[in-house]
Structure 1
Amino acid sequence: MNRDYTYSIWWNVLLITLGASIVGYGIKALAVPHGFVSGGVSGVGLLFYYMTDKLSPGSWLFLFSVPVFLYGWFGVSRRFFFYSLYGLLVVVAAMELTQGQIPVKDPMLAAIAAGGLIGAGSGIAFRSLGSTGGLDIVAVALNQRYNLRIGQVSFAFNAVLFTCALLFLDVDRMLYSLVVVFIYSQVTEYFLGMFNQRKYVIIISNHGEEIAKAIMDNVHRGVTYLHGQGAYSGNSKKVLLTVVNNMQVKRLEETVYNVDPEAFTIFGNAMNVLGNRFSKRKTY
């Protein structure tokens, strides 16, 4: 994906609209009917909704998001701020417009489904230059200012939230809510990495130059020479390093072993590869 495409307004608005709509629908159609707390600022809103039953879940989410966005105005870029504000409004609108619920009776299945929907929506929105608002604003601001990992901020906040929830919810509902948050975080990470995941490959062979040429000709990927030395033999040799996408792994393997059946090859997962012909660095 080229830089202009990634940074275009219509593409970001499309991702945020789709992702935020899924998040709002997942909360209203699955989490709320079963009394789950979804984590983050939306979880705080749901907790107050269950305690008071005065305002709608969407209204509580919007109210608790106001101080978060006031903090975010000073802690994140204006672009991220306004994209995320739009994302929050779409989430609130989706929650308000969703009527009824998804007919899932088993609480565990409902928790898994809710976590899956909310995580998918959040992951899609995070593929843009914004988010669905809420805790994401604080997490990104703290990450940029103090280099705190977004996952650490989320974990700390939710730990406090669920500790407080024990005072108002029964243990079963709190445990189901933990399942929602766990599935949500895993699915979000999956969506964030599904388009960026690559394989890095290290190849050790006595035919390094032939293999490098074959990779460039057949797989159309660049190769870097790393200078290595065998610990036992003491012989110097060229170690090859390359990066491919998942669709190219088998072709690379066949290319390497057609040249040298005795080659030693290591495949590893690279969750995010930045640079020429791969992903561009995303700047909020």
Structure 2
Amino acid sequence: MTGTRLLMRAVTMIFGSLLFSVGLEIFLVPNNIIDGGITGISIIFSHLFGIPIGVFLLVLNIPFLFLGYKQIGKTFALSTLFSVVVMSIGTTLLHPVKPLTDVPLLATVFGGVCLGVGVGLVIRAGGSLDGSEIVAILVSKRMPFSVGEIVMFINVFILGSAGFVFDWNSAMYSLIAYFIAFKMIDVTIEGIDQSKSVWIISDKYQEIGEALTYRLGRGVTFLHGEGAFTGDGKKVIFIVITRLEEAKLKSIVEEKDSSAFVAIGNIHDVMGGRFKKKDIH
């Protein structure tokens, strides 16, 4: 990894961690709204024992990093440790700052956005801000549940605890904040203009390919396929588009061959090749 790339990763993790800290100390914590995972537990403990949340964020996350070291790898563990330390320092420095709003709904929305974007940036840089996912990975190896199901169970329990520690309004606001943060993580990682991969099988592959190239300005690749039942050779059209171009692609394919088989999938990242639109004159 080059020095420039390493520096960019570090800057991204620092910015994401500090943005996460802003979401906590400027919006959520002052309004008794919590997040899921280790962060939620840290907020509850901070409220109960009167100790700064940054201390619990660091202390509670570190054991899970050591626990999952062999499972997640050295680079990921160090990146996560770095991000957690920055987040802990950020929350400590921001703790004396006056919150921007005391309206729970506003705090929920803007706090959730800050948390989600912050976590998304750290994940894109190769780290994490919460050890609960590591726990879920380890537990899933010994129980018939997926990582996502275990994380959801943990977070429902933690978010529900806000009702007993604070009040049930806080618990419901916490659920909303968690949902907003969850969606913002996806948007940050995948981008608003999400890329999609498309496979098209049609006897009119040449016409469809030319139309897609001309009207969408995207590069098209013909793959060789074979029908499993008939054994007939097939041409498969492969193309990568943005989410906003999906409707236009379907319209083009429908126009050329209404019986064509079309499969569309989401892509998180596109690198190399000729993904940028071509200028068609």
Paired with 1:177 and 1:216, the residues of 2 have a C-alpha distance of: 47
TM-score relative to the length of structure 2: 0.78
Which residue among 29, 49, 54 is the counterpart of 1:52?
A: 49
Q: 1:155 to 1:222 in 2, by over 3 A?
A: same
Are 1:37 and 2:52 matched, yes or no?
Answer: no
Q: Higher mean Cα deviation, 21-30 or 159-168?
A: 159-168
Superimposed CA distance per residue, residues 159-190 of structure 1 (whole angstroms, 9 cap, x where no aligned partner): 22234333322111111111111111111122
Paired with 1:23 and 1:206, the residues of 2 have a C-alpha distance of: 52
Paired with 1:58 and 1:74, the residues of 2 have a C-alpha distance of: 26
Paired with 2:173 and 2:225, the residues of 1 have a C-alpha distance of: 50
1:111 alignment partner in structure 2: 108
Which residue among 187, 191, 199 is the counterpart of 1:190?
A: 187
Q: 1:275 to 1:11 in 2, by over 3 A?
A: closer
2:75 alignment partner in structure 1: 79
Which residue among 76, 88, 110 is the counterpart of 2:84?
A: 88
Residue 129 of structure 2 aligns to a residue whose secondary structure is: coil
Determine if contact 1:65/1:134 at 8 Å carries over to the other structure.
yes
Structure 2 residues not aligned, in runs of 5+: 276-281
Residue 104 of structure 1 aligns to a residue whose secondary structure is: coil
Which residue among 66, 87, 90 is the counterpart of 1:70?
A: 66
Q: 1:278 to 1:167 in 2, by over 3 A?
A: farther
Paired with 2:67 and 2:20, the residues of 1 have a C-alpha distance of: 23
1:233 alignment partner in structure 2: none
2:279 alignment partner in structure 1: none
Determine if contact 2:197/2:267 at 8 Å carries over to the other structure.
no
Structure 1 residues not aligned, in runs of 5+: 230-235, 280-284
Determine if contact 2:218/2:239 at 8 Å carries over to the other structure.
no
TM-superposed deviation, 1:244: 1.4
Superimposed CA distance per residue, residues 66-125 of structure 1 (whole angstroms, 9 cap, x where no aligned partner): 322331334321111111000001101110111424422321221111111101100110
* Equivalent residues, number: 271
1:223 alignment partner in structure 2: 222
Determine if contact 2:194/2:268 at 8 Å carries over to the other structure.
yes
Determine if contact 1:205/1:260 at 8 Å carries over to the other structure.
no
Q: Higher mean Cα deviation, 208-217 or 84-93?
A: 208-217
Paired with 1:41 and 1:158, the residues of 2 have a C-alpha distance of: 9
Paired with 1:245 and 1:49, the residues of 2 have a C-alpha distance of: 47
Root-mean-square deviation (Å)? 3.9
Which residue among 170, 174, 178 is the counterpart of 2:175?
A: 178
Paired with 1:276 and 1:148, the residues of 2 have a C-alpha distance of: 37
